[in-house]
Amino acid sequence: MSIISTTFPTWLTEWMEAQGVALWGAADLSNFPAPLDQKGKEFPFAIAWTIPMNPKIMVSIQDGPNRLYANEYASVNNHINELSVALSAQIERRGFKSKPLAASVRTDTVNIKGDFPHKTVATRAGLGWIGRHCQLITRPFGSWVRLGTVFTHLELPCGPPIERNFCGKCMACVEACPAKALSSNAWHPGLPRREILDFRACDQWKKKHYFQYHKGHNCGICSAVCPYGLKVLKKMSDKT
């Protein structure tokens, strides 16, 4: 039986540093229905990382999305997709199968979700927890991030996963949601998304009120008011 190393391969650490990725890790997906490789075998591991959004843009959408946010959203997603393809190629070059997960692509339009939750990989990799707004919250950047994921057979040191939330009694996102789509329930691993978010109410509100921004895929109000994100902005102000 092989023994998984407790340190990341040097090439992977150097690659992440070269791309400017500050927060990343690996997740053990052995107990999850992970995507399949070309031979029909589930990927046992995944690499997760975050790309921060511009804090000044994020704080500007507390009353609703704007064009700057829509452009930032698209730009960061495109950057993530480019990194995902490049990282997958690096892994394949070293003889291991891999598969990038596209950023913010809905492959199930009925249930409004993609092929696999980026957030599941991120929490399993120890990057953060799920807030009451059903988004990943990280210590360095709050929830003002977009997520990248690459599945792989490359054995990596994983986690430890984060299995509790650190939102306390805060209800800022719940109170700010214009669609009233957030239940106020606190996340824990295994809690169904529907117990946190009424995703249809959220989707319908965005399409009705913000269709001009990526056909109603953008809102971000709940994230914009999150205290963990606002702390990032305060740190920036303190440095200037």
User: Does residue 14 form part of some domain?
Assistant: yes
User: Does residue 129 form part of some domain?
Assistant: yes
What is the gyration radius of the CA atoms in the chain, in angstroms? 18
User: Parallel, antiparallel, or unpaired for β 145-152 and 136-137?
Assistant: unpaired
Mean pLDDT of the chain: 94
What's the pLDDT score for residue 239? 72
Contact 121, 27 (CB under 8 A): yes
Count of the separate structural domains present in the chain: 1
User: Does residue 4 form part of some domain?
Assistant: no
What end-to-end distance do the CA atoms of the chain give, in Å? Answer: 53
The residues near 54 (Cβ < 8 Å, ≥ 6 apart) are 72
Predicted TM-score (pTM) of this structure: 0.93
Is the confidence at residue 110, as pLDDT, over 50?
Answer: yes
What's the pLDDT score for residue 3? 44
Q: How confident is the model at residue 190 (pLDDT cuts 50, 70, 90)?
A: very high
User: Does residue 2 form part of some domain?
Assistant: no
- Quickly count: other Cβ atoms within 10 Å of residue 35's Cβ: 15
User: Does residue 107 form part of some domain?
Assistant: yes
Percent of the chain with pLDDT over 90: 86
Q: Which domain holds residue 24?
A: 10-235
Which of 101, 97, 71 minimizes the C-alpha distance to 83? Answer: 101
Is the confidence at residue 66, as pLDDT, over 60?
Answer: yes
Is the confidence at residue 86, as pLDDT, over 70?
Answer: yes
pLDDT tens-digit readout, 37-54: 999 999 999 999 999 999
